[in-house]
Amino acid sequence: MSKKKPNKQWVQSQNKDYFVKQARQSHYRSRAVYKLQEIDQKDKLFKPDICVVDLGSAPGSWSQYASEHIGANGRVIAVDILSMEPIEKVKFVLGDFTDEHIENQCIDHIGEQGADLVISDMAPNLTGIRTTDQARSMALAELVYEFCHNALKPGGDLLIKLFEGAGTREFRQLLKEHFAKVVTRKPSASRDNSREFYVLARSYGL
């Protein structure tokens, strides 16, 4: 597969970025790990022996972090369209999450007991047309929400990335119907000029 060359401005800003440097030193594959870490330190997402589903997992820093915080018997099922280097305790599914077969593969790997935690850092490929990008992002979020009905065990949690814009308020309302608590998080590693933020929905079905 041919790789697109990153532009010079992006490379320069990455080199200056505190979280990029931290990730390199700590052998994490992406600065995104610090978003998850900050939310986890505040909200205590990970516990020993849980089953975690990581949607949009590549290059893999969230899966690395999850694998380090679920004890010896925990499991991670990770999915991405892009391939990902193996990680201990992580079962990787290569494919498009919007494809029903891929979603079913995840459900099979989760097993009858259900998952304790779904984390989604997925973002659709951007077209640059804001309304289209926002609609695609919300469509993906709704699929994740539907997946939670099949995947999460009662009491399970969902952490999902959203982009500020049309549909996010309604989406939070939808989550409130099925989760006991819904909160918003904007971790320090999430750039101020980015519309991204995270919603944490806790205690599914309780």
Applying CB under 6 A, among 23, 39, 78, 79 the residue interacting with ligand SAM is 79
Applying CB under 6 A, among 19, 29, 70, 152 the residue interacting with ligand SAM is 29
Q: How far is the CB of 190 from ligand SAM (least distance, A)?
A: 11
Residues recognised as catalytic: 161
Nearer of residues 146 and 205 to ligand SAM, judged by Cβ: 146
Taken in order 83, 43, 175, 157, the sign of the CA dihedral is positive
Applying CB under 6 A, among 26, 83, 98, 131 the residue interacting with ligand SAM is 98
Q: Does the protein bind ligand SAM through residue 30 (CB under 6 A)?
A: yes
> Looking up tokens 């969230």, which residue turns up?
62
Interface with ligand SAM in residues 118-157 (CB under 6 A) = 121-124
Q: Which residues of 79-115 are buried (b: 16+ CB within 10 A; e: fewer)?
A: bbeeebeebebbbbbeeebeeeebbebbbebbeeebb
Q: How far is the CB of 205 from ligand SAM (least distance, A)?
A: 25
Tokens of 167: 């549909």
Q: Give me the residue whose beta carbon is nearest to ligand SAM.
A: 56
d(CA 140, CA 122): 8
